[in-house]
């Protein structure tokens, strides 16, 4: 899995297409509840999805498809996956990448991924990686 930097979803998709490699766009849709002090009080992963990067991709189309699945999400973590031999990552590879993304999201290790709100605007966040230990309680 690799990361790319772009200011918009459309720009990220275009970077993937123009790179010369066949990429899969990876999405993890989450619900973030913000506390009174503007800190995230809870992050809930709702579902994930993937699709090949292609010309003309829009965030509006991704949002519409996601809302048909579950409209409770308010942020999406976006990553990209590619194979070094220029082949399209398989569905199985995409699922493995998504599993990795979900694990990273749960511990706050989201550096390198794009975090977008429902409007497709990039969200800047400060995260702290929370190590999982035998004394850590998860609800």
Give pLDDT, residue 21: 86
39 compared with 126, residue with greater pLDDT: 39
Residue 11 predicted with pLDDT over 70: yes
Percentage of the residues of the chain whose pLDDT score is greater than 70: 82
- Cα dihedral across residues 84, 88, 89, 94: positive or negative: positive
Q: Please, which residues have CB within 8 angstroms of residue 63's CB and are 6 or more apart in sequence?
A: 118, 120
Q: Is the pTM of this model over 0.85?
A: no
Write the pLDDT tens digit of every residue in 12-38.
899 989 988 889 999 999 998 877 776
40 compared with 108, residue with greater pLDDT: 108
**How crowded is residue 127: how many other Cβ atoms within 10 Å of its Cβ?**
15
Task: Say which range, 47-56, 96-105, 108-117, has the weakest mean pLDDT.
Answer: 108-117
**How crowded is residue 130: how many other Cβ atoms within 10 Å of its Cβ?**
12
Domain boundaries, the chain: 9-117
What separation in angstroms does the CA of 108 have from each of 20, 103, 105, 125, 137?
A: 31, 9, 5, 10, 16
Residues found in the chain: 139
């Amino acid at each position: 899995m690799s990361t790319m930097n772009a200011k918009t979803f459309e720009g990220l998709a275009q970077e993937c297409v123009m790179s010369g490699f066949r990429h899969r766009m990876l999405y993890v849709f989450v619900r973030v509840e913000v506390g009174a002090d503007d800190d995230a009080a809870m992050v809930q992963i709702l579902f994930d999805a993937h699709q090949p990067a292609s010309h003309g991709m829009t965030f509006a189309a991704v949002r519409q498809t996601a809302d048909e699945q579950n409209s409770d999400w308010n942020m999406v973590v976006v990553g990209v996956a590619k194979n070094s031999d220029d082949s399209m990552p398989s569905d199985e590879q995409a699922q493995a990448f998504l599993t990795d993304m979900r694990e990273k999201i749960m511990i706050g290790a989201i550096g390198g991924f794009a975090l977008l709100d429902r409007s497709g605007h990039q969200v800047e966040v400060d995260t702290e990686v929370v190590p999982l230990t035998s004394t850590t309680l998860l609800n």
